C-alpha cells in the first residue's frame, strides 16, 4: 500500500465551521458556480440553443477577465483563510453576478414568448419573479464568500461589479450581433447545421421543446382509438 500523503481537490474543497449551521450552508453555496457549469453543459448539449451558447461564451469570457484581474491586482485573501490564490476580485461573486444579470436582461429585454408560438409562455410577472430569485441567489452566494472568510467585502463587491459590467457589455454585444444578422449567418453555416443549433428560446420556452410534436402524436393516437 502506498504511504504517499493524500491531496485535496481544491475545486470542491471548502473550509467551513462544522459547529455553525450557516457556515455549513455557505459551504454548499460555494459550489453554485460548479453546479451552473454543469447546467450550462447540459443545456448546450440537450437544447442546442444559440442563446444558451452565447450566454455560456460570455460566462467563460467573464471568467477569463477575472483571471486577468486577479493576476494584475495581486491582492491577498483575508489572513484567517487558508485558500490559495489571489482574492481580488472574488471569482464566485463575479460568476454569479454575470449569470444572474445576463439572465435578467434576457428574460426582461429579449425573451418575448408569443402565445401562438408556445404552449406555456412565461408571463412578465413570472419572468420578473425568476429574475428576482436569480439576483437574490447571487447575492447569497456572494455573501457566503465573506462569511467563510474567503474574501473581504471589498473583494466581493468588486467581483459583483466586474460580473455586472461583463454581463451588460456582453448582452449589448449579442444584441448587436443579432441586429446585424451575424447570429442568423452563423446558424446557416455547415457546422451549425451539422450540430443542429437552433434559435427558438427567444420566442419559445425551453419546456416547449418538442411539445408540439408530442401533442400531435398524442392526438393521432386518440383519433385512432376512437
Per residue in 39-78, pLDDT tens? 999 988 888 888 999 999 999 999 999 999 988 888 788 8
pLDDT at 38: 92
Average pLDDT, the chain: 83
Residues 96, 62 contacting (CB under 8 angstroms): no
> Other C-beta atoms within 10 Å of 86: how many?
18
List, for residues 112-158, the tens digit of each pLDDT value. 876 655 566 677 788 888 899 999 999 999 998 888 888 888 999 99
pLDDT band with cut points at 50, 70 and 90 for residue 81: low
List, for residues 95-119, the tens digit of each pLDDT value. 999 999 999 999 888 888 766 555 6
pLDDT at 159: 92
User: Any idea what DSSP says for residue 121?
Assistant: P
For residue 198, the cross-strand partners are 49
Residues 78, 150 contacting (CB under 8 angstroms): yes
pLDDT at 202: 82
- The Cα–Cα gap between 3 and 78 comes to 33
Highest mean pLDDT pick, 10-24, 161-175, 180-194: 161-175
pLDDT at 56: 94
Please choose, from the candidates 28, 141, 47, the residue with its C-alpha nearest in 3D space to the C-alpha of residue 94: 141
Inform me whether the pLDDT recorded for 6 exceeds 60: no
Average pLDDT over residues 31-45: 90
- The Cα–Cα gap between 159 and 73 comes to 12
The tally of CA atoms less than 13 A away on the side-chain side of residue 94 is: 27
Amino acid at each position: 500500500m502506498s504511504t504517499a500523503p493524500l491531496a485535496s481537490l481544491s475545486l470542491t474543497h471548502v473550509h467551513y465551521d462544522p459547529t455553525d449551521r450557516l457556515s455549513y450552508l455557505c459551504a454548499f453555496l460555494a459550489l453554485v458556480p460548479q453546479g451552473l457549469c454543469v447546467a450550462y453543459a447540459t443545456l448546450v448539449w440537450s437544447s442546442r440553443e444559440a442563446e444558451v451558447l452565447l450566454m455560456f461564451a460570455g460566462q467563460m469570457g467573464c471568467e477569463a477577465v477575472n483571471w486577468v484581474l486577479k493576476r494584475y491586482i495581486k491582492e491577498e485573501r483575508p489572513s484567517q483563510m487558508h485558500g490559495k490564490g489571489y482574492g481580488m476580485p472574488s471569482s464566485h461573486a463575479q460568476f454569479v453576478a454575470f449569470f444572474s444579470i445576463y439572465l435578467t436582461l434576457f428574460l426582461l429585454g429579449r425573451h418575448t414568448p408569443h402565445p401562438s408560438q408556445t404552449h406555456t409562455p412565461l408571463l412578465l410577472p413570472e419572468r420578473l419573479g425568476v429574475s428576482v430569485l436569480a439576483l437574490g441567489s447571487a447575492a447569497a452566494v456572494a455573501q457566503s464568500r465573506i462569511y467563510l472568510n474567503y474574501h473581504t467585502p471589498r473583494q466581493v463587491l468588486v467581483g459583483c461589479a466586474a460580473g455586472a459590467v461583463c454581463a451588460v457589455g456582453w448582452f449589448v454585444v449579442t444584441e448587436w450581433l443579432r441586429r446585424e444578422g451575424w447570429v442568423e449567418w452563423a446558424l446557416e453555416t455547415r457546422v451549425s447545421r451539422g450540430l443542429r443549433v437552433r434559435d427558438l428560446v427567444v420566442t419559445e420556452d425551453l419546456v416547449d421543446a418538442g411539445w408540439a410534436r408530442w401533442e400531435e402524436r398524442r392526438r393521432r393516437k386518440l383519433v385512432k382509438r376512437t
